[in-house]
Structure 1
Amino acid sequence: MDTQQTGLFPFKPAALPDSQTSKPALSAWKILSVEDDLTYQRTLSVELSGISILGQPIELFTANSAEQAATLLLDHPDMAVILLDVVMENDDAGLRLIGNIRNAIGNATVRIVLLTGQPGMAPRKDVMERYDINEYWNKADLTQEKLRAMLTGNIRSWQAFQSLEKSKVGLQVLIQAAQAIAPKTDLREFTTSLLDEIAKLTHANAGGIVCASVSPEKLKEQLTILAASGQFEPYIGGSLHEVLNETHIHVPLLQSYITAAIAQANHVFSPWVSVLYFDISEINGSTYIMIVNSNAHLSDYHLQLLRAFCENINDGFKKIGLIKQLSDLAYRDAELHIPNRNWLIRYLNSLSKANKTQSAMTFIRLRDFNDIEMSIGHINSMSLLMQYCQVLKQTLPNSRSIARLTYDTLVMIFDKTPSFYDIEYQQATELNTHLGDTTWTLHSNIVLLPLGDYSDDPADIILSLGKAALNLAQENAKPFYQVNAELKSTILNRQSMIYDLSAALSRDEFFVVLQPKVRLSNKAVVGFEALLRWQKPNGTLVPPDTFIPLAESAGLIRKIDAIALDLTLQAVQTLLANGYRLRVSFNATGADLLNSTYIDKLLNLSQLNQVPSEFLDIEITETMAMEHYERINPILRLLINLGYHVSIDDFGTGYSSLSHITRLAATHLKIDRSFVDAMTKHKEGEQITDVIMQLGKRFNFAVIAEGIETEQQHQMLLAKDCEFGQGYYFAKPMILADVLVWLETQAVESSGETPTLRTSS
């Protein structure tokens, strides 16, 4: 057994019995490969077999889907590295899994390495800016040598973060322990409390802990037990000699430990038995030893906690000094040596309303810090960040203090609200810092939060508002943002809306309304567009332009789209059952069409509900169709061959090229309502409509005009040979029951013809 001690002394302890000398098995680095290509998984397993990194083997876990990966991560929170494929069961499953890992699962330390066999699917710059990943590799470039080097670097970084997180937890435990003993003034009460806290630190309750009083002039006499716990509680007030004789402690070893601790006036630590030495002779003329005996092997981590605790309570009555020292460690960032988030919370909670009225905070987030760390490594990036803090304080000299809120976010505190548009703030968004001979320009977003406006808000809400405002500043590409009542309301409403939206998905709060499509020449009904609506239990209708972007940002859009598909199929079935052979269109995203699960559901539900495909029209925006043109176009072509119609929505607002239009798999083009509106207001608007009509004729698209609201627009589109249209001029969107009543008074032109693919000639 290795004996760990503080201080050196010529002492070699007797060996423990075999049952106490066994060491834990060598642990392995846990690596998770998330990949739906089973061949690649097997190849990776072969390449990693037998590899040792930093003296430890690798334990490889594999998951074939994001769901399996999430389950494994919950079961193994000590996963060091994730090798994550961009595209699995759908095009962005890997990217969405990143958000779940960092936010839902809450694992901020695991290193995420994004892999792709199709680099164009997730461009490096875009991925690095939007997602919290650590490296990005093309599978073809990742040789075995590079794989090993990459894993070694990431495991080192993971070790550093794990140590930091563990230290933070340990410090909190130590502070709690110190706070528990701080109020104690009676010696016996103090020592008993001390034993309880050490038991919590080491989990040594089962083995028992003994505290014995030692007077320097009576070292050779029997040692009296002042306090005890665990198996030694019956011996309180007795002698240590009695304990050694009547318990199963390895007596020769413990006696040698006690002798060494007293002789060297220091602690002796070991995984099984430790002797702690406290000299408080200046207080009461006595010295105390504590014997920590554990039935389980104490880890290095627990021994470090024990050592830290002992070093700071060398005289138990100097507790206030201990608390101050440990509190300083807990409230300061270990890497930058500036206050941390805990300090910010304590500071904000300590401010009176009067002080808050005169104070302000600025939140500063470095936009490119993750890329910098990947370029120069963690140690160098921390040095650069320390330099940045110094430059920042020089640029904004009126600040009271600077603290680190998150990995790439700093907070500065001002005793009075600064003028937000001072030249110093303009300069602070781009600051030059130096690392060796290299100059780095660090770009940031800055948010001002006047504390006087939030005097009744708790600290965590204030910090959350600042971070949310930084997110908005970055999303809107604004270097400055000021938190005000309106922004606070927006942020809180957004959080509440996301909660309500999640609940609405399971409470059937969504329904569709149908807007008629007509033939412009005779106003006969030729079909409908299904539009999703959300009505809360209190009757409030939430507009789509509010909940759709929210669903996209919250990762709920696929569930929304699935509901829209189900409701559309039900509507078509009802129309057919009532004798109306009318096609209904519904909106789909590029992500939906690239998701095999969605396509399977579309085909299966269509068959189960006995809805012929020719009565369904898939609407996809021009922008979405073009963003993933090479992958989406074949899917659209396949759907058309199966009888579905495909409409390109908002045509003219995206970025189609003529070369793509000639080969675009679609049956209809929809003229955006903005062009229909502009057509009657100025010549340029009419010219855009003319161009779209000419493209439709040239490439054999049927053309539908959206947003027709006046007879003038109707007549102008007729004059341009536009065949179909929809808008309030003909009818507003209606629920299905009202549609059936309305149809009784309308001319109806049955749909149902099978679409044909266009030729490019």
Structure 2
Amino acid sequence: MVKAIFNISKNMLVAAAAGTTLALIHWEWSSTGLDQMIVPVALAYAVAALVDEIVAMPVIALATRRKILRQFTANWDLRLVGYAVRFVVALLTLILLRADVRLLVAVPPLALSLHLAYSTRVRSRAERQAWQRLAHTTDALNVVDINAVLHTAVAQAANLFSADEVEVELQADQRTVRGNNETITYDGFGTQPSFINGSVIPMEMKGYDGSAVGMLRLRFHGPVKLSEREQYTLRTFASALCTAVRNASAYAELNRVAEEHAHAAAHDALTGLANRRHLLDRGAEQLGQRRSEGVIALLLIDLNHFKEVNDTLGHAAGDRVLIQVAERLRTAVQGDDLVARLGGDEFAVLFHGLPAPAVAAHRAESLLTALHEPIELDGMRISVEASGGIAVAPSTGGMTELLRRADVAMYQAKRAGRRISTYAPARDTADLGRLALGGDLPRAVADHEFTVNFQPIVDLGSGEVVAAEALARWRHPARGTIDPLRFLETVERSGLLPAFAEAVLDQSLIAAQSWREAGFDLPVAVNVSPRSLLDARFPGAVLARLRAHDLPPDRLVLELTETLTLSQLEVVDQVLGQLRDAGIRLALDDFGTGYSSLSMLSRIPVHELKIDRAFVTAMETSAEATAVIRSTVDLGRSLNLVVVAEGVESEPQRMALWELGCSAGQGHLFARPMPAARLLAALHQGAGGRPGTLAPALHDEGAVVRLSPGRRSGPRRVERLPHLPA
């Protein structure tokens, strides 16, 4: 109705405009000839056409939500042709009317034919343009990002259907996207009411299989009814949107799976840290930018005795320890530093952008300190000790070389008894020989290539030999004598440790028995691996060897090292208790270097403390080293323990140790490690004609010796060592 009234009013206005134009130019139908009629009629028709455009186009633009300029330019060529045809018909009508009124009967068929042709052409073009717009709209949905699909669908649907608001609601995650052809007004989950109260045209987004992924809604301020063609277009658009949503969702799922696989390929499954591959890739990338990114360094961390924890408590408990270690490292790192797990109990930290190489050591110390706190595991506190090696990126070479250098530094730290060691080229002795040693171990054990040398332990006051420490040697048929620091580590990591330990113990007990038969009843000290303490059968095996060689248990001293992480395990307490109860003596080696602590003395029933050679070497120049030795001696005296100093190289060191109250020592001052037969010959020969001694006495037996001022006050009677039976 409104449309009809508008059209009638418009046509009346157009006719009035044409008539007014003819009146203004004083044109009269009866007074003009044919030749004088064309121009006035053309002018009047042009004014009428202009008025028609000015009146109709804004109204149509408003109804279709188009911009006025866009409406004016749309189909201008067809409208121009239409105006020209109607002008010809009008002019022809006037000519026929002037010639003969009866000829007007030909005008309606002609006008109808022209109208039908024009209408068909207009509809054809409108259909073609509608399908082109639909094709363009659906093409715009061919993206793989779900956000882009939904946002594009809202804007394109608003343009295509001239909707005031378009809403897309997904069933899967209840996501709703709402907006118009210019902006997105809402994008979220759940429902939120629309502010447009008018017509709502819903359409399910169905696929070819009939299943729907959501709902498409067109909202209009006023009442709107879509034509059949528009309804079909809406169904087609909704179907295309359904396909686009499914494709985008499938792509998102594939992308998620690919990202998971990529993450899994670059990260450790247990701890979530970067793995070796990711570490090498990131390191190679940073090394390529080293000139502008500062100093790059790598810290390699190895947990001490983690295998024993795994073997004793089970792999599940070991995994929990690794997870907590990883979390502590992840929390303690700074900035872009990368934490990685290389496998087993090895971790790595890639330091990036350091201002100076020295900063790497400081950060490494902080990280290892973060691991120091005990870990709570099923009501049991497990102490975590680790060794770390630091290597600064070389000027040439890639990540493989940097990783090798950090590995070398880490094992240097282990051998030196330090928590952290920095790579030094002068100490880099790593080569392929280490791998070859592992392959030679079975043959070496079977062919008895391992021998034992003995270093005597001497009473510092009298010079008398009071014991001997067994030191394993490997006489390789091709490589000659191999440094113990190299092969002991290989043995420790192999499955041949029990056989190796038994061979060393047998040779040590044979030597002690031979000395005893010769009149020198000396205890023999043998180093024991921490792994052996996890074997409940170990005490029985040791006692069986003692019985086989007819030696009293108190002639054997077992030296314990690196047991900090094991000292809280019940099996260790049981093994050490059985050994002590059987009469075997226990010594705590490397006391004060970090592998031993005061807390261990309250748990491990030892008889002796051995001061590390590093303190003895430094005592002449370091007040701190002297203080550590004095404290250890006083502690030993308070606990009724023998204190033995390692690495005594000179008489001044011997004298200083004796003045501090240290009762015994070993080192090159007295003798280097030697075979059992040579030591027996040295005992027979003695020092200064005194069998059983290797150094002159610092005093006459029973004499009163005054200590130097500032060391100890008061006289002291020197007696025979009370805790090392001769």
Q: Quickly name the TM-score band, shorter chain normalised.
A: 0.3 to 0.5
> Please, what TM-score do these two structures have when normalized by structure 2?
0.40
> Please, what TM-score do these two structures have when normalized by structure 1?
0.39
Bigger radius of gyration, 1 or 2? Answer: 2
